[in-house]
Amino acid sequence: MRDEHQSAHLEQLTAKLRDRTAIIGIIGLGYVGLPLTLRYAAVGFKVLGIDIDSAKVDTLNAGASYINHICAADIARARANGFEATTDFSRAGEPDALIICVPTPLNPYREPDLSFVLGTTDALLPYMRPGQVVSLESTTYPGTTEEELRPRLESRGFEVGREVFLVFSPEREDPGNPNFETRTIPKVCGGSTAACLEAGLALYGPAIDRVVPVSSTRAAELTKLLENIHRAVNIGLVNEMKIIADKMQIDIHEVIRAAATKPFGFTPYYPGPGLGGHCIPIDPFYLTWKARQYGLHTRFIELAGEINSDMPHWVVGKVSDALNQRGRSVMGSRVLVLGIAYKKDVEDMRESPSVELMELLRDKGAHVDYADPHVPVFPRMREHHFDLSSVALTPQSIASYDVVLLATAHSGFDYELIRKYANLIVDTRGVYLERQPNVVKA
């Protein structure tokens, strides 16, 4: 039986969530936080968004969007329903729920970098109050919530599970995927205590069609890693199969399409020029780092990581071979990279293998340009710099390049126009299914 204080805080919180009078605080208004914001606003909650980027905050408060697949009308509707964005962390006491959606990158030694999560938590703590639920959605290693966030809450004198409630509920957004939205993607949730889990289920239940409870925050953290490592390992497998098929002069995409006709026991994964995005290239390292603390060596996961990391070098080798067969070297060649976002039909460039391809080719002396309808100007990036704008694809511009490297297969590209006028195409995505004299598969 709960004690009186626990019962009062929890029952008041769950009642406010149930009748949608609770205020939802979303910290981090990017690819995860913004769709979640819009979903809560759509079901009648007042949402306070907090982000350190004043430009994002100003854009949202003006009713505009900075993410291509989120339209301004959705932002305007949320604003009409009471959504407000701010850079002011001192307002963290206003919401009844604080949902943390900030990045978890790797440091230069490929170890977890929790600086965004911990910095955000520390910025919220002075303004928190009893009766709030805190949910971490950022992908991380098992134990983060209990080992890092819970002690910080307790250092402020809060009793977790009685005065404040702590959960981990990993994000599952898939930007640009028209088949799923925030509402329809089941939500895994684990709590620090049974009362915390109850608060987490009350938090997500009104906004998400199906909430999946698990026994602990550690189980929820590992669930997210398993999901992404599953993809990373299978992509590593199919990338290795691609190399084997290439040596045997077999089209791996034809093989995958044929194998996918099996109605059981096979799930198709597709090769590419490397892994991109904020999750798949990074998340396996969160588990391998944590596993070392238990004396374990994650050989299978790390091998897949090595294969995927080598893909940009393999693709550049295919570009070099294709040019050599036409009497040219990479040095001095004009190369047009098609698609520099990390995946189809989005503008997100985090960990994009296309950028590594551009750098590798530039380092070999090629003149490199790019075309991407979602990235009109090459953005500022912490580790990469190109002073370039997207090239307009015309018969004349396409024909002016020695090789067109198809790196990201955006729907907006006119692939027949490209095939017709390109001198040479190196296709890393299997777009050109039939054999073409000017197409090389990579």
Q: Which residues are catalytic?
A: 279
Burial of 276 (0-12, 13-18, 19+ CB in 10 A): buried
Q: What is the 3-state secondary structure (H, E, C) of the chain?
A: CCCHHHHHHHHHHHHHHHCCCCEEEEECCCCCHHHHHHHHHHCCCEEEEECCCHHHHHHHHCCCCCCCCCCHHHHHHHHHCCCEEECCHHHHHCCCEEEECCCCCECCCCCECCHHHHHHHHHHHHHCCCCCEEEECCCCCCCHHHHHHHHHHHHCCCCECCCEEEEECCCCCCCCCCCCCHHHCCEEEEECCHHHHHHHHHHHCCCCCCEEECCCHHHHHHHHHHHHHHHHHHHHHHHHHHHHHHHCCCCHHHHHHHHCCCCCCCCCCCCCCCCCCCCCCCHHHHHHHHHHCCCCCCHHHHHHHHHHHHHHHHHHHHHHHHHHCCCCCCCCCEEEEECCCCCCCCCCCCCCHHHHHHHHHHHCCCEEEEECCCCCECCCCCCCCCCCECCCCCHHHHHCCCEEEECCCCCCCCHHHHHHHCCCEEECCCCCCCCCCCEEEC
| C-alpha span between 170 and 223 (Å, rounded) | 8
C-beta neighbour count of 419 within 10 angstroms: 18
Reference 437, options 425, 428, 429; nearest CA is 425
